[in-house]
Structure 1
C-alpha cells in the first residue's frame, strides 16, 4: 500500500488581538524614537543660550547631525532585514539610540553634541524599515494604510511626550537631565519587543489561508513559498517606487512636506519663548498637548479615510494628503500672525488635523507597490530620500533663514554686528540693556518671518500629491501585478 502523502506544513494564524498588540508595541517604539529625535526642538532654546549657538547650529543638531547616519545606514540595515530577524534588529536599534540620547546630556560643546546626535541616528536607522515590513506581513493590503497610520501615530505621541516631559525637566532641572531621563526607558521597550513579537512568515497576510489554525505566536514558522529566497536588488526596488509618475510624486510630496515640517517644527517652541517670553514647561504643554492631539488626529484620519475612500478610487490616496496640506498651509500661517500667544496656541488645533493626513496613505501606497522581500528596502529608500533632504536640511535651512532675517532686522538699528553682539540670541556680556533688547527683538521677529517663509512649502507639497493623483490608480494596478509575478 502506498504511503499517504505528507501534509504541507501549516502557516501560523495570528489572532486579531495578537496582531493589534504587536502593532501597538511598534507604536511605542516609534514614540520613543520621536521623543529622542525631536526633544531637542523643545529644549533647544536652553541649549542655544547655554552653549552660545546660532540658529543654524541648532538646526544642524536637529537635522543633518542626526540625519547623516540615519539615512545612510537605513539601506544596509533594510537589506539585512530582508533576510534576518526584523525583531532582533529593532530591539538592538532601540538600545543603541536610547543610550546615545542619554549621552547627549553629557555634552559640553557643540562638537560633542553633534557626535552623540550622530549616534542617535545610527540607532534610529534600524526601526522603521523592518517595522514597516513586519506590519505589512501582519496586515493585509486593504488595511495597510490604516495600520501604518497607527504606527505613524508614534510621531505625534513622541513629539507630545517629548515636548511635555522635556520642557518640564529642562525648566525644573536642566536640559541635560531631560536627555538622560527620556533616553534610558527605551531599553525596557526593546526588551518587551524582543520577548513578545514573533517573526511572521514573509508575505503572511498576502497568502495565508483562512482555515489555518489560530496561534498566538510561533518561535519557528515555515517559510512561505511565495517569497523568493534572494531579495531583489536595490536598483529594482528603486525603479518600482521611483519609476512611476504617481509614486514619484507621492515620494516628492512626503519629502517636501516633511522638509517644511522638520524645519518649522525645530523653531516653533523657541518662537513662543522668544516672542512671548514663555518658559520651557509652558511651551512644552502647548506643543505637547495641543499640537500632539491635532497631529495624532490627522495621522489616524489620513490612514483610515484613505483606506475607506480608496475602495472607490485609488486617487484618494493622493487627494486626501493634497487637500490636507493645501488647507493646513494658510492655517499655520495664521497661527504665526497672532500677537496673543493664547490665540496662537488655540489655533494650533486646526492645521495639525489636516497637515498629517499624508503619512499613512503614502506609506501604504509604497508598501502595496512592492513584493514581499522589497518591503524593508522600499521603506529604507523612501526614508533615505525623505530624511536626507527633509530632516537633514529642513532645520538648518529654516535656522539659516531665521539667522539672516534676524541679522537684517538688527542691522536696521545701526548697533553693530549681529553675530558678535548677540551670541545665543541675547546681548553679549557688557553690551548693555539697549543691545540686549535689540538682539531679542530682532531674533523674535526674525523667527516669526523665517517660520512663515518655510510654511509656504506645504503648498508646494500639496501640488505634488495633486500630480500623483493623475496616474496613481493605473500605477498601483501595474505595481500590484508586478509584485504578484516577483
Structure 2
C-alpha cells in the first residue's frame, strides 16, 4: 500500500540477502547516528556545569534543547529530504555530518546564553540532513523482511550515543571542563564526515524490491507536494507520525532533564553519572531498540496492527515503573526503576520507521522519513523539553527543593495519551486491512 494516488510499492524479494558492503555501510551509518545523538544530548548531560557557569534557568535549558533546536532540525529536514531523494543521499549525509559537528565544537566556545542558542540552532541545521537519508540508504541495502532488524541496529545509535555522551561528557567535565567535551566530539564528527563521503557507496534506489524500480525516461519522480499530500492523506502514516510525536513528547522531556534530576534532587555526582547512568542508557535503550526491531519483523508478517500494538504495550508496561522512578528518594533506587522504562519507551521507533519505509515508493523514502521526523520531532523534541523545563520553573516557588520531580510527575497523562493514540492507530490499520481482504 503506497501513498494515495501513487502506485503501491512492490513486495520485496524474500530470498535477497545483503552482502558485506551492506553491513559495513550500516556500521558506518550507525556510527554517524551515534555522533548525531551524542552531539544532541551533550547539552542535557552537561546541564549542571553549564547552568553554574552561564546562569541558565531550567526553562531556558528546555527551550534551547527543545523548541529552538527543533524548529531548524524538523523544518529543514523536509527540503533536505526532497533534495536527497533526487541527488546522492550519501553526499548529503556526509555534508550534514560535517556541518553539525563543526557547530557542536562552536557550542564549547560560547561565552553566554545567546551564543549557545545560535550554536545549537546551527547543530539543528546540520542534523536535519542526518537521519532521513540514512533510513533510505539502509532500506536500499537491505530487503523487505530484514529492514526492521537493520533499522533497529541503526537505531542503536541513540542509546550508544547517549551512553557515550554521558560517560565521555561527564568524565571530561569532571576532570577538565564542559567546553572541552563539545570541542572534542565536534572534531571526531568532522573526521567521520570524510569517512562517509569516501567510504559509503550510494545504493540503487529500489534495487532490492521484488522488481527494481526503473522509471521511464518521460515519467518524472514524484514531486514534493505529491509526496507531502500523499503522506498526510494516508491515515496510517498520519496516525503513526502523531502517535510517535506524543511518545517523543515524553521521551525527549525525560532525556533532557534526567541527569539534572538525578544530580540536583537525588544526590548523584558527575562521576557517578559517567558510570551508572551511562550503563543504564546504553543497555536499556539498546535492548529496547533491538528487541522491538526483531519483534516487529516477526509480528508484522501476521498483521500490520503489530506496528501499533507493540509500542502501546511497551508504553503501558513502562508507565508505572516511570512513576516509581520519579518517586524514588535515592539515585540508586531511581536507576533500578528507570532501567525497564528506558527500553520500553523506545518500542515505537523501529516499528514506525519500518512502516513508513515499506509504505512508500523507493524514490519517496527520504522525504517520507523526513515528514515522519517532522511531525514526531516537532511535537516531541520541540515541546517535550520546553514543557518540562517551564513546568519545573513553575513549581520552583511552591517546591523549591524538588521542582523537577513535580514536573516529571506531570508527564504521566502524556503516557496515557500516547497509548490511546497507538490503540487508535491499530484500529485504523485493522479497518484498512479488512477493506483490501477479498
DSSP-derived class of the 2:347 partner: helix
Question: Which protein has the larger Cα radius of gyration, Structure 1 or Structure 2?
Answer: 1
1:419-453, Cα deviation, whole Å (9 max, x unpaired): xxxxxxxxxxxxxxxxxxxxxxx1x4111110121
Q: Which moved more, 1:274-283 or 1:19-28?
A: 274-283
Tell me which moved more, 343-352 or 356-365: 343-352
Offset of residue 14 of structure 1: 8.3
**SS in structure 2 at match of 1:357:** coil
Q: 1:179 to 1:229 in 2, by over 3 A?
A: farther
Shift of 1:302: 1.0
Q: Which residue of 2 aligns with 1:447?
A: 404
Match of 2:395 in 1: 405
Q: In the alignment, is the contact (CA less than 8 A) between 1:66 and 1:121 conserved in 2?
A: yes
Are 1:291 and 2:281 counterparts?
A: yes
**Equivalent residue number for residue 178 of structure 1:** 181
Contact in 1 for aligned 2:267/2:331 (Cα 8 Å): no
1:120 partnered with 2:156 = no
C-alpha displacement of 1:228: 8.5
Compared CA separation, residues 268 and 226, structure 1 to 2 (3 A): farther
User: CA shift at 1:349, angstroms?
Assistant: 1.6
How many residues align? The count is 421
CA drift of 1:288 comes to 1.4
1:89-100 paired onto structure 2 within 5 Å? 89-100=92-103
Once the 2 structures are TM-superposed, how far is the Cα of residue 477 of structure 1 from its aligned partner? 9.5
- In the alignment, structure 1 segments of 5+ residues that lack a partner are 1-12, 210-222, 410-441, 480-486
Check the 8 A contact 1:369/1:476 in 2, yes or no.
Answer: no
User: Paired residue for 1:242?
Assistant: 232
The answer to whether the 8 Å contact 1:240/1:370 transfers is no
Paired with 1:81 and 1:386, the residues of 2 have a C-alpha distance of 20
Tell me whether 1:169 sits opposite 2:172 in the alignment.
yes
* Inter-CA distance 226–370: structure 2 relative to 1 (3 Å threshold): farther
Deviation for aligned residue 1:478: 8.7
Following TM superposition, by how much is the alpha carbon of 1:408 offset from its aligned partner in structure 2, in angstroms?
2.4
Q: Which residue among 447, 453, 457 is the counterpart of 2:414?
A: 457
Question: 1:125-155: CA deviations, max 9, x gaps?
Answer: 1111111111111122222222222111111
| CA displacement, residues 173-199 of structure 1 (integer Å, 9 cap, x when unaligned) | 111111112221012221221222111
Tell me whether 1:30 sits opposite 2:33 in the alignment. yes
2:24 to 18, 21, 26: 21
- Partner of residue 69, structure 2: 66
Structure 1 residues 108, 373: CA separation in 2 closer, same or farther (over 3 Å shift)? same
State which of 321, 325, 330 in structure 1 corresponds to 2:315.
325
Give distance in 2, aligned partners of 1:41 and 1:266.
Answer: 5
Show CA shifts across 1:184-226 (max 9, x none): 10122212212221111111111468xxxxxxxxxxxxx8347
TM-score, length-normalised on structure 1? 0.83
1:106 matches 2:96 = no
Q: What's 1:472 paired with?
A: 429
Answer whether contact 1:171 1:281 (CA < 8 A) is retained.
yes
Q: Could you tell me how far 1:230 is from its partner in structure 2?
A: 2.9
Q: Contact 1:90–1:126 (CA<8 Å) still a contact in 2?
A: yes
1:392 equivalent to 2:382? Answer yes
Contact preservation (8 Å) 2:18, 2:143: no
Cα-to-partner distance string for 1:310-337 (whole Å, 9 max, x where unaligned): 1111111111111001111111111111
Instruction: Give, in whole Å, the separation in 1 of the partners of 2:114 and 2:427.
Output: 47
The CA distance in 2 between the partners of 1:90 and 1:185, in whole Å, is: 16
- 8 Å CA contact 2:245–2:378 kept in 1: the answer is no
Structure 2 residues not aligned, in runs of 5+? 1-15
Conservation of the 8 A alpha-carbon contact between 2:34 and 2:157: yes
Pairwise mapping of residues 84-233 of structure 1 onto structure 2 (< 5 A)?
84-207=87-210, 224-225=214-215, 230-233=220-223
For 1:32 and 1:352, the matched residues in 2 are separated by 20
The 2-side partners of 1:228 and 1:374 are apart by 18
- How far did 1:296 drift? 0.7
Quote the residue 1:260 is aligned against: 250
**8 Å contact kept, 2:18–2:141:** no
Q: 1:17 to 1:181 in 2, by over 3 A?
A: same
Structure 1 residue 459: Cα displacement: 2.2
Q: Which residue of 1 aligns with 2:10?
A: none
- Residues 315-374 of structure 1 show CA distances to partners (whole Å, capped at 9, x for unaligned) of 111111110011111111111111122111122221122111110000111111111211
Report how far residue 286 of structure 1 moved. Answer: 2.8
Of the three residues 41, 44, 69, the one matched with 2:44 is 41
Counterpart contact for 1:241–1:369, Cα < 8 Å: no
Measure, in 2, the Cα distance between the counterparts of 1:474 and 1:227: 37
- Aligned equivalent of 1:336, options 307, 310, 326: 326
